[in-house]
Amino acid sequence: MAAYNAENTIRKAIESVLSQTYPNWELIVVNDCSTDMTQTAVSEIVKKDPRVKLISNETNLGVSLTRKKALDAATGDWIAVLDSDDMWEPGKLEKQMAFAEKTEADLVFTGSSFIDNDGNPIDWQLHVPSEMKYHRLLKQNLISNSSVLVKKDLYSRFYVTWNDVYSDFAMWINITKAGCKVCGLDEPLLIYRVTNASRSRNKVKSALRTWKTYRYIGFNLFETLYFMCWYAVNGLLKYRHLNKISGTRKLDRG
């Protein structure tokens, strides 16, 4: 869990990990030089549960490099990422571990439910396919970062540290391109928080980062234009049910 100025949400995020029915986990929180009470909030939890560990950056590194520090510190065979404003359903890890064993998957992602900035449920659910292939992923990213459970050696191999791109999207593309088995568990095991940022500003920023992501993975100009068209159309269809929400932090990613 990378954390930056997350004092209003991080306790709920961590509590959702503490509530997991799967017992064999460690939570590594990396505080990226927050200027609020994030450090204090996490420190209080660390004192109560030794499975929660806190690392503090000396300088602000951005989310990708901050997650990389957590990855390097992790001791398990599997990695699950949770953003500091999202939450998991209690059975998330247990169901994913069982599903990974059943399907022999290298990466398992889940569906999502949604809450608004104040924690109120939104009446919509994101469904996911049973398996994600390379060419389908290129047209639409349905793999929510906070829903993923992935083998650590695979995550380390394909990890992207450039903050100007969607590093998670770039990783999923490269993982599927390599022929790894990526399976979807169509249950809303991730609780995704929609926050009150500027929708129009985020759409422009998101489109630019998506463009840079396609270029980062090696696509030429025409290939990038082609998949950006798919990104735009599928992005509108994917979140048409959330148009009534005034703003979003991450939903415009495509």
Instruction: Write the pLDDT tens digit of every residue in 202-251.
Output: 778 888 999 999 999 999 999 999 999 998 888 776 666 565 544 444 44
Average confidence (pLDDT) over 114-139? 93
Whether pLDDT at 46 is above 90: yes
Whether pLDDT at 199 is above 60: no
Q: Tell me how far CA of residue 104 lies from CA of 131, 147, 181, 182, in angstroms.
A: 12, 18, 8, 9
Q: Supply φ then ψ for residue 139, to 5 degrees.
A: -85, -25
Q: Are 188 and 89 in contact, with CB atoms under 8 Å apart?
A: yes
pLDDT of the residue at 104: 98
Sign of the alpha-carbon torsion through 52, 88, 11, 243 = positive
Whether pLDDT at 196 is above 80: no
Question: What percentage of the chain reaches a pLDDT higher than 90?
Answer: 80
Fold of 2-253: Spore Coat Polysaccharide Biosynthesis Protein SpsA; Chain A (3.90.550)
Q: Are 253 and 214 in contact, with CB atoms under 8 Å apart?
A: no
Question: What percentage of the chain reaches a pLDDT higher than 70?
Answer: 91
pLDDT of the residue at 243: 55
pLDDT of the residue at 198: 37
Average confidence (pLDDT) over 179-191? 98
Alpha carbons 89 and 20: distance in angstroms, whole number = 8
pLDDT of the residue at 253: 40
Q: Could you report the per-residue pLDDT of 57-72, keeping only the tens digit for each?
A: 999 999 999 999 999 9
Q: Tell me how far CA of residue 116 lies from CA of 86, 124, 170, in angstroms.
A: 11, 12, 27
